[in-house]
Amino acid sequence: MPLGFFDFVEGIPPYSENRDGAMRLNKRYDLILDPFRTSFSGTRVLDLGAHDGRWAYAMAEAGAKRVVGVEARPELVERFRYFPDTDYKSRVDLRVGEIFATLEALVADGEEFDVVAIFGVFYHIMDHFRLLQMIRLLGAKLVLIDSEFVQVQNPIIQLMFERTSSPLNSPEQVPGQDQALIGIPSFRAMGAMARALNLEIVWSDAEAVFGHDRKGVQDYFRKEGKRRAACCLLAGA
């Protein structure tokens, strides 16, 4: 069986409790990160919604000189210490913080990043356009997004509620909140936001990457409702 970058997580809880956890991460790696490996060499990267640092860790291995990860849940950031001690792990700087407050601080401090990754958090927020506006202020030339999108013809953002108790969902937006309000953009809404910010959008081809082996990544092939997809946003010179 071919080795995948994320095979190491099989011995780390909670991945070790899910035999398909590493497989799904490896397949997603092939779609959302591997095609851009050469873009990470010597770059400063910002990873929003960094979870336990898994993608920040992978981008550091791909050659980024510094990866700043932002995650709202401290218990997830704590798990990063169980990742293998490699020569690139030290290039990852995981920070606990709310995404927008952290972005505002980074902009105020004059920080700049070459690449911004938004893997799995874009459909757990409400202020998508503001997020992209702030990323533009950081000077990023490449923005990578992996998200769920609503499959409708109109450029809309569909509002939904999700449980804040799940580590895979939005954290509390106000103290004591058990149901967070989130927005899931449609594909056309994503395109409209990119156009408004003078960003070129390029969608990844999940079918070309996964072929007929769709085990663990079926959400990238839904025909109705929400469908997961990956894209990149490119800023001009």
Domain ranges of the chain: 5-148+188-235
Nearest to 181 by CA among 160, 206, 153: 160
Residue 194 is encoded by which pair of tokens?
A: 């990119």
* Neighbour count for residue 59 (Cβ, 10 Å): 28
Which pLDDT tens digit goes with each residue over 84-108?
Answer: 999 999 999 999 999 999 999 999 9
10 Å CB burial of residue 233 (0-12, 13-18, 19+) is buried
Burial of 29 (0-12, 13-18, 19+ CB in 10 A): middle
Q: Find, among 53, 63, 110, the residue nearest to 84 by Cα.
A: 53
- The pLDDT > 90 percentage for the chain reads 92
User: Which band of pLDDT confidence, cut at 50, 70 and 90, is reported for residue 2?
Assistant: low
Query: What is the CATH architecture assignment of 5-148+188-235?
Result: 3-Layer(aba) Sandwich (3.40)
Reported as a single tens digit per residue, the pLDDT across 143-194 is 999 999 999 999 999 999 999 999 999 999 999 999 999 999 999 999 999 9
The pLDDT value recorded for residue 237 is: 53
Amino acid 19: pLDDT: 72
pLDDT of residue 18 exceeding 80, the answer is: no
CA separation for the pair 58, 140 (Å, rounded): 19
Among 79, 27, 11, 1, which residue's Cα sits nearest to residue 230?
27
